[in-house]
Amino acid sequence: MKPALLVLALTAHATAGGFGLPDIGVRRTAMGAVIGRPDEGAAIYHNPAGLLLEHGWHLYLSMGLAVVRSEFQLHSWDQSDHFLGVTAGPDGYYAPVRPTRAIGAIPMLAVTGEIMPGKLALGAAVYVGNAQGAGFSPDAVTRYHLIDGYVVAPQAVVAASYQLLDSLAIGGSLGVIDVRIHERKDVFPVFDGKDISSISGTTPELSLDGSAWAPSWMIAVYGHPHPRLTWGATLTGRVDAAMTGPIVITYSADAPSPGDQLVGQQTTTQLLPWALMGGANFDLTPHVELGAEGRYWLYRQYQQQHTDVVGIFLVRELNTAKNYQDSWQVSGGIRVHDLDAAPGLDLMAGTHFDRTPAPANTLTLDQPTFRHIGLHTGARYTVGRYRFGASYLRYFFLIPTVTDSTTNPPTNFRGTGSNNIFTLSVEASL
C-alpha cells in the first residue's frame, strides 16, 4: 500500500473538540433565566450590560461540577466481530458500554464594581466555560471511537456597563480564550474498503494534542422599561481556534513492525459560532419573579472540520464532514424571594430544552452532543455582606438511535444518559 494511503487511513478521523456550557452561576443553573436580570457576578458571562444591577464592589466565586451518566450500545459493522474480538448480539448490538469517566468543571472568579455609581460599572473575570473529559476502557468495543480525551477552554475577560438612558444600559466584554484538546483512540485500519492491518496492525493507536489562543468579545444591552419588567440581549462573536500540536500513530503489537511510529504536527480549526441571546423577567408580585430566555448558535457555518498535517509524508490536509445545523435553547423559571419569614432567601426553579447542532449521521463519541431537557432548582441566601448559592441541574439526554452513520468505522449506536450539574457560589460585598 502506498504510504500516503496508509497515513490517510490512520488519520482521517483524528479530530477532537467540544462545545461550551451556558451553565455558569446559580441564577442560571437554578432558574434558567439570567440574561434578562443578571444580578450576580456571572453577569460578565451572560450579560455584562447588567453589571450596574449590583451597587458597590463585589467579589464572586462560582464552582460547578458536571457528572455525566451514560450508556451506549454500538451496532456491528462489516467484519467488526473480527476486529473487536467479540460477537454482537442477535439484534446486531454489542453489550452496553459505560464511560470509565465523564466529568466537567465549570469554575468562575470575578470582581465587579461601580466606577461612577449608577452610571458606569466595570468587571474582570476568569472562568472555564468548557472543561470536559471522558474515557472508555482501552479494550472496550468503543476503542476505535475514543479511549480518552478532553477539551479545556479557560477564558479571561474584562467587561463594562454604561447607563445610556434611564431605562437602558449598554455593555460588553473583551477577552482571550485558551482552547486545549487531547484525544487518544485506536484507529480502524480499513479505509475505502482497503484493509491495512497487515502494515499497521489491527489496533494502531493515535494520540493527538492541540492548543490555541484566540480573542473573544460580546456586546450586550439591558433594559428596565417598567418597574416590574427587565430585559436583556447579547451578541457573541465567532471564534476560530486553530489548535496546533503533535499527532502520533503507533503500530499495534500484531503489526510487522510493532511500536513503529508516524510523528507529525497538526493544526485543527475548532469553530465557536456567532451566538444571539435574549431574555426577559417580570415581577408577578413583590415576591414572585418569572423569567424566560432564548439562546441561538449559528452552527450552520460548521460544515466540516479541517486539519492541516505537517511532517507526515504526502499528507497535507484532512477534512471531516460535520454538516451542522443551527442550535437553540429555550428556558425559563420562577424565583420566590424576600418573604417576610425569610427576607434573605431566594428559592428558584426552572426548565429548558436544547436542540443539538449535530445531525445523527455525523455524531461521534469523541464529540457527543444530544438534544436534552433540563430541570433546574436552587437557592441563594444573603447574610450580612455575603450571598451564598447552591443549585442542582439535571440534563435528560434524548439520545437518538443512529443507523446511517458516515464515520469510519460507523458510529451506529443507541443509548441513554444524563448530566448532573452541581453549583456552589459565594459573593462578597467589598
Structure confidence by residue, pLDDT tens digits, 148-201? 999 899 999 999 999 999 999 999 999 999 999 899 999 888 877 888 889 889
**Given this model, what pLDDT does residue 129 score?**
81
Q: Please give the model's pTM, rounded to 2 decimal places.
A: 0.92
* Lowest mean pLDDT across 206-210, 320-324, 389-393, 403-407: 320-324
Strands 304-310 and 190-191: unpaired
How many degrees, rounded to 5, is the angle at CA 19 between CA 16 and CA 24? Answer: 140
SS3 3: helix
pLDDT tens digits, 251-292: 999 999 999 998 999 998 888 899 999 999 999 999 999 999
Count of domains observed in the chain:
1
- Residue 28: in which H helix or E strand, if any? helix 26-31
What DSSP string runs through 245-303? Answer: EEEEEE--TTSSSTT-EEEEEEEEEEEE--EEEEEEEEEEETTEEEEEEEEEE-GGG--
pLDDT 10s digits, 292-335: 999 999 999 888 878 888 887 656 777 777 888 999 999 999 99
Closest-CA residue to 109 (of 147, 49, 59, 66): 59
Please say whether the beta carbons of 258 and 200 come within 8 A.
no
Whether 10 shows a pLDDT value over 60: the answer reads no
Q: Where are the beta strands (DSSP E) in 117-204?
A: 120-135, 148-165, 168-186, 190-191, 194-195
- 265's grid cell: 504536527
Q: What are the backbone dihedrals phi and psi of residue 316, each rounded to the nearest 5 degrees, phi first?
A: -115, -35
| CA atoms of 266 and 212, how far apart (whole Å) | 12
Do the beta carbons of residue 31 and residue 156 sit within 8 Å?
Answer: no
Copy the grid coordinates of residue 111. Answer: 470582581
Q: What mean pLDDT is reported for the chain?
A: 91
Q: What is the dihedral of CA 274, 154, 146, 196, to 10 degrees?
A: 80
Query: Nearest CA to 348 among 303, 396, 299, 389?
Result: 389
Q: State which residues form the domain around 290.
A: 3-429
* Confidence grade of residue 40 (pLDDT, cut at 50, 70, 90): very high
Give the model's pLDDT for residue 283. Answer: 98
Number of H helices, E strands in the chain: 5, 20
96-114 average pLDDT score = 95
Cβ proximity of 377 and 27 under 8 Å: no
What the block records as the C-alpha cell of 395 is 440534563
Closest CA to 423 of 378, 386, 385: 378
Q: Please report, to the nearest 10 degrees, the dihedral formed by the alpha carbons of residues 128, 130, 131, 133 taken in order.
A: 180
By residue count, the chain amounts to 430
Report the distance separating Cα 423 and Cα 378, nearest Å.
9
Q: Which amino acid is at 329?
A: Q
Task: Count CB neighbours of 237 within 10 A.
Answer: 14
| Contact yes or no for 293/36 (Cβ under 8 A) | yes
Question: Residue 215: helix, strand or coil by DSSP?
Answer: strand
Q: How confident is the model at residue 368 (pLDDT cuts 50, 70, 90)?
A: confident
User: What CATH number is attached to the domain comprising 73?
Assistant: 2.40.160.60
Over residues 87-108, mean pLDDT: 94
Assigned C-alpha cell, 363: 455524531
Task: Tell me the C-alpha distance between 8 and 182, whole Å.
Answer: 20
Assess contact for 351 and 358: CB atoms under 8 A: no
CA-to-CA separations, 63 to 85, 151, 153, 377, in angstroms, rounded: 43, 18, 15, 16
Per-residue confidence (pLDDT) for residue 425, from 0 to 100? 98
Q: What is the pLDDT, as a whole number, of residue 313?
A: 65
Q: Is residue 322 within 8 Å of residue 337, measured between CB atoms? A: no
Angstrom distance (rounded) from CA 35 to CA 49: 10
What's the pLDDT at 2? 44
pLDDT at 17: 34
Residues contacting residue 424 through CB under 8 Å, at least 6 positions apart? 26, 62, 63, 388, 389, 390
